[in-house]
């Protein structure tokens, strides 16, 4: 039997091209397996071959989503694969978005089945889990072997056209797709059984889970911005020069609250970024590129805004858990209330 043809999509880091300094490279391709693809090849157990590896820099993809997807699709198409694997991206946000977007485009534009993998809090998971088989992985490459062991067999089965069970049975993320199936008991009986279990505090599994909409109602607009007090918050890791509180470059365990009283401009002497998820050279040269302090000070002086709250708040959004970010934001909001802040500009990188 002929071997299954696989094309694998990874980022510049896993391709061994470089870290953040190379995150702006345009799509390119290699013959055969590269990086985690070598691990996939072992898991394929001679049944499949990675015929090509397509690579794109994470920032390039994030800043040129449509164009990059188009180029990548062309690269993938000409290898005529039976299945395409993207990632695993773990908790790398831009990589997760790229891996998800490529998987979706391949599935819907080329009609080729796809498997992706990432951590459940990766923004790419929520964005794309409906459009591809997405395996849940650990948050970092520590979970590489485990991820590849799940992704490889799923890819092989998809390539062979085998039927795939439910998300709970197979361990991929729920896609929100309902499939007709026969049950031994009729609906009325199942419903009453569930109700009885619920009344008796027994465990039961709903057949129709409600979607979770984690949304916040928009706050009313600011009435008069020229009277408003504005605060700056950022997940791009801006910190005073030297990062006095040692905010971690990823998975930050804290946030910083930094005085900007009397500071009119940021430059290489008074600010830098602690963020390890993007090339820091531009922010380190002029931190106004991440938090626009200089122009806000000008606008404050000119009366375009009422005033600027005299602290900025910062954490590193890179791989930081949702629970931690929420906790930091709650504390930040207390400080904002104390100083009667009216509105917030939050910047992300």
Partner 1 sequence: MVKEIESQGFPVVHMCTVVPISMTVGANRIVPTIAIPHPLGDPSLSVEDEKELRRKLVRKALVALETEVDGQTVFEV
Interface ranges with partner 1 (CB under 8 A): 20, 23, 59, 62-63, 65, 93-94, 97, 123, 126-127, 214-216, 218-223, 225, 228, 230-231, 233, 235-236, 278-283, 285-286, 288-292, 294-296, 298-299, 304-305, 315, 317, 325-326, 328-330, 332-333, 336-337, 341-349
Residue 297 makes CB contacts below 8 A (sequence gap 6+) with: 263, 264, 265, 308
Place of tokens 């979706």: 104
CB of 290 to partner 1, least distance (A): 6
Output 110 or 344, the one with its CB closest to partner 1.
Answer: 344
CA distance 155 to 44: 9
Angle between helices 144-159 and 36-44 (to 10 degrees): 50
Tokens representing 239 are 């910190």
d(CA 103, CA 80): 15
Of residues 144 and 290, the one with the C-beta less far from partner 1? 290
CA distance 141 to 153: 19
Give, in order, the Cα–Cα distances in Å from 238 to each of 81, 138, 303, 322: 44, 28, 26, 19
Nearer residue to partner 1 within complex by CB, 52 or 308: 308
- The two structure tokens encoding residue 42: 């072992």
Interstrand relation of 307-314 and 256-259 (parallel, antiparallel or unpaired): antiparallel
Contacts 24+ apart (CB under 8 A), 213-221: none
Rounded least distance, CB 167 to partner 1, Å: 19
What CA–CA distance (Å, rounded) separates 229 from 64?
35
Nearest to 73 by CA among 106, 25, 41, 44: 106
CB count, 10 Å around CB of 253? 13
Q: How far is the CB of 269 from partner 1 (least distance, A)?
A: 16
Closer of 117 and 236 to partner 1 (Cβ):
236
Between 188 and 221, CB nearer to partner 1: 221
Shortest spacing between CB 61 and partner 1, in angstroms: 9
Nearer Cβ to partner 1 (36/117): 117
DSSP state of 48: E
Nearer to partner 1, 22 or 157 (CB): 22
Q: How far is the CB of 162 from partner 1 (least distance, A)?
A: 31
Q: How far is the CB of 65 from partner 1 (least distance, A)?
A: 7
CA distance 60 to 69: 11
Q: Which is nearer to partner 1, 61 or 133 (CB)?
A: 61
- Measured from the CB atom, the residue of 152 and 283 that comes closer to partner 1 is 283
Output the smallest distance, CB 208 to partner 1, in A: 24
Locate 137 and state its tokens: 């992985």
The minimum distance between CB 215 and partner 1, in angstroms, equals 5
Determine which helix (DSSP H) or strand (DSSP E) holds 155, and give its type and residue range: helix 144-159
CA count, 13 A, side-chain hemisphere, 255:
24
CA angle (266, 267, 270) in 5-degree steps: 75
Taking the complex as a whole, how short is the minimal distance between the CB of residue 10 and partner 1, in angstroms? 19
């Amino acid at each position: 039997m002929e071997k299954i043809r696989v094309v694998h999509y990874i980022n510049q880091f896993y391709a061994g091209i470089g870290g953040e300094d190379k995150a702006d490279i345009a799509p390119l391709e290699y013959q055969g397996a590269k990086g985690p693809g070598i691990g996939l090849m072992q898991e394929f157990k001679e049944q499949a071959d990675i015929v090509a590896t397509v690579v794109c820099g994470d920032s390039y993809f994030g800043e040129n989503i449509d164009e990059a997807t188009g180029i990548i699709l062309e690269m993938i198409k000409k290898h005529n694969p039976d299945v395409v694997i993207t990632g695993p991206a773990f908790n790398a946000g831009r990589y997760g978005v790229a891996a998800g977007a490529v998987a979706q485009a391949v599935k819907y534009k080329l009609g080729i089945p796809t498997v992706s993998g990432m951590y459940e809090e990766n923004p790419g998971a929520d964005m794309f889990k409906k459009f591809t088989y997405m395996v849940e992985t650990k948050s970092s490459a520590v979970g590489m072997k485990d991820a590849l062991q799940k992704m490889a067999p799923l890819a092989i089965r998809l390539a062979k056209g085998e039927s795939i069970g439910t998300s709970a049975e197979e361990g991929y993320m729920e896609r929100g797709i309902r499939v007709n199936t026969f049950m031994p008991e009729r609906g009325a009986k199942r419903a009453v059984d569930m109700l009885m279990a619920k009344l008796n505090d027994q465990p039961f599994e709903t057949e129709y889970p409600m979607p979770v909409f984690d949304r916040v109602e928009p706050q009313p607009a600011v009435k008069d911005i020229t009277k408003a007090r504005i605060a700056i918050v950022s997940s791009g890791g801006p910190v005073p020069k030297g990062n006095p509180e040692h905010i971690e470059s990823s998975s930050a365990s804290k946030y910083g609250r930094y005085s900007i009283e009397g500071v009119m401009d940021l430059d290489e002497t008074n600010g830098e970024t602690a963020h390890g998820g993007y090339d820091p050279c531009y922010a380190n040269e002029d931190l106004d590129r991440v938090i626009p302090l200089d122009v806000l000070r000008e606008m404050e002086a000119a009366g375009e805004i009422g005033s600027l709250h005299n602290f900025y708040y910062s954490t590193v959004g890179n791989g930081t858990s949702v629970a931690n970010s929420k906790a930091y934001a709650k504390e930040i909001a207390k400080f904002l209330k104390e100083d009667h802040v009216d509105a917030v500009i939050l910047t992300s990188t």
